Structure 1
Amino acid sequence: MAVSLFINDSLFNGDLLEALLKKRLTTTARLKDTARLKDFLKPVKKTCALMSRDERGVLEPHTDLLSVALAVIGFMVFAALMSQTYLGYEDRSFALENYETASLIAENLADAPALEAESTGLLSAASLDAFSGPNGANERERLFAAFSRNYRFLVEVRTGDGQWHWQIKPDDAEPDAFADGLEKVAASVPVVIKLNPAESVPGTLTVVIYKTEWN
């Protein structure tokens, strides 16, 4: 009986040891596989972390586009300012250069014998009527021939109360040579206009020079 129990106990212990050994080997293999899996996943996680944290690849193109857009806008604004500055300078240059000329022409016409009333130093309304009327082509030609043809100008004479107004233009000018939208400069001098033998009134004589391709 004792011998039988010993044999059975030995068999039981052998089976138990074998089972424990297999379980240990299985656990060891699983641990090794787990360790290998962790070692394999580490570079992948690191790469993913770098890909998610490195935002330069996404932001740099937008930053470059924004910089280019700002540079283009800045250049356009600068070009517009320079253009306005140049045009403003050109306009002022024309006015400064031609205002003195307009003043000299106005002074000469104010003392022109052809416009005077019997050498009295007064402008004659009758003469102004002749120069500005439809039959005064010869008078107008002689008047403008006394000045350089480099200047395109007209003459206006007004009474101080605005009741009387005369305008003298050259007949050889183009129809749109004195259009309202053209650039021009004007200078005026005070005059006295003799309307009739009994009445003289103050007024102004104005010379308006228009800009052309040569001035």
Structure 2
Amino acid sequence: MKKIAVFFFGLSSLLSFSQEIALLKYSGGGDWYANPTSLPNLVKFCNQNINTKLNTKIPTVEVGSPDLLSYPFVHMTGHGNVVFSDNDILNLRNYLTSGGFLHIDDNYGMDQYIRKEIKRVFPDNPLIELPASHAIFQKPFVFSTGLPKIHEHDNKKPQAFGIIVENRLVLLYTVETDLGDGWENQEVHNDPIDVRTKALKMGANILNYVFNN
């Protein structure tokens, strides 16, 4: 666990060391590889705007791999089915209770599947909706009404849910927003610049929260 602890000295450590975030690969048939330009673009935005020094090359890590513990932040997305093995469940729970952070962004279609798997990881820690007053919406960019809406699917409000373990937010689940689509290259979805900027700023808030709490 020593390796994971190194990443949690806060933003000051980011100013001295290049670090990595990772994309989570999972089983079940869902397209875990969706939005290939999203994380590189988010990292570039953060490096330019909140003084991080994150590596722009994004590695892929499997849920059950011991390498998961090498990354302070892991992002998960997709449109479809998600299945975690028993080993995946144990490894992910160990990662999250030992200092790691998982952001799950529903790319539309994974909600009914991922909620079941989250429940298996933390059967005693329910998903709770984060209020607009939560710190993750306050800095470095203020989102006074909470999670921004990036893409429309079912005419539902965007929601941010979290798993809290010993007073620490360890898992963030964003739904009905599609932040990752907003992080993608502009020509992929042709989002207006203000929409993409909102998505990138919210992503920066998430990374800022991870490295400062």
TM-score normalised by length of structure 2: 0.24
Q: Please say which structure displays the higher CA radius of gyration.
A: 1
Bigger helix fraction: 1
The structure showing larger relative contact order (alpha-carbon pairs under 8 Å, at least 6 residues apart) is 2
TM-score normalised by length of structure 1: 0.24
